[in-house]
Structure 1
């Protein structure tokens, strides 16, 4: 929880940094907050010298096995520039059967915090289509333990506890379908080294209820790996996103 508070504090600080010019210095800044729920399927694996332990939690069971979550994003815009901060924290604890008789099942406890920070610049804006490109950083804090329960073979456990930062490049595409509907696609890639790599895709549709409030529906995929060949953590999350956005 202390690490959660730290990353939440980082996002709050980023919010204050980008929001202050919007209110105190330059009224041309536009800022929005989005609070969302990501009902993701989670695939996790930990590789150790003793072998690989892996598990899958379907998104249909994600809410049932979710111990805690916080997900929110802020964006501020001025002219061609956009600054974005996005924080997703999930704490999952679950068990599932395993094939065969070597093990009687697997228990997993996976905590993941991901803080995305982007600076984007608009390179195209015409006929309802806007394209932004840029870069930033993605900070991870992962704490996972996976245990194979005894069966015909003895039980064993694997754990991974690490925080790290990947540099990121990103591109965003937005198309105004109508006065109320907007489609947005975001693609990024980070890491750029053999022991750390991550990438993400987000496809969303936003419906404007009025000038301030919007409903957001999306599909999001995140894939990451970190560590050497005999001490590696891999995780992918994919599934629908439901959110509410406020513009001011």
Structure 2
């Protein structure tokens, strides 16, 4: 894509209001020296996939947890003076197989109400986001950084359908997406121990637009903190043969340690 075309498409997307992909408990006190924060989090998210043509595949957080084969989510943020350097990553491998009855509409009085179907489903998601930020505003309550970065997302899906009517089909797709991001992140401090972290970012590039939204409540003690929050992530794809839109959203719990 020519640089001029890329920048012209990025400009409107960067004006969207968004919010975060990261669950950091940012410190509620002034940072005088260099500091690194490591965060690990659990995310009870729902997944909503909209396929090309309008079909929607929705998976609840309960289903994902029951069928999670492997998952890893974490982040690192280093602050030095007014500068911030961050890296966050997510990997999830979800697999499910079994026999299900799929309801069908039948105009014949003696026709079946459902069809027995054997399903084998695997979904893998990889996300890596690297960014740099600079302090935009700071006072006794607010700390806000403006950020820019690059986010890579990979969706892999395999689905095998075998019905008792003799129909069998295997679907396999892979999407590799790289987007430039712009955003803000920071916190609002209520007391020296309680604060609300937030991150807002949007992106575009391989996708038409991406959106991240995150906010919550954090409690700090010493170098540690715990955050309860809600996270929303959306990808609007283009030129895909399979996926039109993907949404991940749900509550999360994070533990952070500063050193």
> Which TM-score bucket, shorter chain as reference?
0.7 to 0.9
More helix by share: 1
Q: Could you tell me how far apart the structure 1 residues matched to 2:117 and 2:185 are?
A: 45
The answer to whether 1:228 aligns with 2:239 is yes
How far does residue 176 in structure 1 lie from its aligned partner after superposition? 0.5
Which structure has the highest strand share of the two?
1
Q: Which has the larger radius of gyration?
A: 2
- Cross-structure match for 2:107: none
Distance 1:198 1:187 in 2: 11
Structure 1 residue runs of 5 or longer lacking an equivalent are 1-26
How many residues align? The count is 217
The separation in 2 between residues aligned to 1:155 and 1:54, in whole angstroms, is 21
68, 71, 75: which is aligned to 1:69? 71
Which residue of structure 1 aligns with residue 111 of structure 2? none
- The correspondence for 2:163, drawn from 144, 147, 150, is 150
Q: CA deviation at 1:172?
A: 1.4
In the TM superposition, what is the alpha-carbon distance from 1:160 to its structure 2 partner? Answer: 1.5
1:204 aligned partner: 216
Counterpart of 2:43 in structure 1 is 38
Structure 1 counterpart of 2:144: 131
Alignment check: 8 A CA contact 1:46 1:159 kept: no
Contact 1:55 1:106 in 2 (8 A): no
Q: Does 1:242 align with 2:253?
A: yes
| Distance verdict in 2 for CA 1:229–1:247, change over 3 Å | closer
- 1:196 CA displacement: 4.0
Preserved contact between residue 93 and residue 109 of structure 1 (Cα < 8 Å): yes
Relative to the length of structure 1, the TM-score reads: 0.77
Structure 2 residue matching 1:63: 3-state secondary structure: helix
